Amino acid sequence: QKEVEQNSGPLSVPEGAIASLNCTYSDRGSQSFFWYRQYSGKSPELIMFIYSNGDKEDGRFTAQLNKASQYVSLLIRDSQPSDSATYLCAVNFVGRGSQGNLIFGKGTKLSVKP
Amino acid sequence: SAVISQKPSRDICQRGTSLTIQCQVDSQVTMMFWYRQQPGQSLTLIATANQGSEATYESGFVIDKFPISRPNLTFSTLTVSNMSPEDSSIYLCSVEGTGGPRTQYFGPGTRLLVL
């Protein structure tokens, strides 16, 4: 059973702080890793993807991937109240019978306090 | 990324009936996906819909319950058949985008409540 695990939270950080969201996955063959943001009542919005070990930065967001530890994280610098949402980690598994579908974690709810 | 629309945006249905959800994309895409998000849960893939072939269903989902059509490269439908209250969920379609391999972009979703 391929799994993606996230701490459900809520994770509460003050405005301006760094929010750190973590995700682990079970399949060492996983190739692609994604972070989605989902506001309440809305559909998921892709904010970052990463394929290689190391860090990838995009504005205030940094994705970090460690394939040896099967761990991917998302850092949000200078957190804003508008960042308050549920963050979903998704992993692409490729294998027999699969078309490279995404497996989603249950999400971490982030709350940024003014 | 592609612009994706879904109809209806929400509906309230009686048990035993069926609902067809439409997904329209503003550009041609090879792969379209249908997901379910039950209350308080994450997304679960129902099936992958490729134009010109039968949909591929994930474990736990069957064609009789969730028939899918993919008549062209910009459109797909998902039908939720013989509904029960357990089918109350958000149903989302997604498409693979050009942002990178396996990146998926989601439509706005259809919120279904079955009474």
Which chain A residue has its CA at the smallest distance from B107's CA? A43
Interface residue A84 vs chain B (CB under 8 A) = no
The helix/strand/coil state of A108 is: strand
CB contact under 8 A, B56 and A32: no
| Peptide bond connecting A10 to the previous residue in cis, omega within 30 degrees of 0 | yes
Which chain A residue has its CA at the smallest distance from B100's CA? A49
pLDDT tens for chain A, 114 residues long, are 678 999 888 999 999 999 999 999 998 888 899 999 999 999 999 999 999 999 999 999 999 999 999 999 999 999 999 999 999 999 987 654 455 678 899 999 999 999
Residues 6+ apart with CB under 8 A from B78: B20, B21, B23, B34, B46, B47, B66, B67, B68, B91, B93
Low pLDDT (below 50) residues in chain B: none
Interface residue B109 vs chain A (CB under 8 A) = yes
Q: What is the pLDDT of residue B36?
A: 96
- Chain B residue numbers touching A92 (CB-CB < 8 A): 102
Which chain B residue has its CA at the smallest distance from A105's CA? B42
How does DSSP assign A14-74, residue by residue?
ETTSPEEEEEEES-TT--EEEEEEE-TTS--EEEEEE-SSEEEEETTEEEEEETTTTEEEE
Interface residue A106 vs chain B (CB under 8 A) = yes
CB contact under 8 A, B100 and A105: no
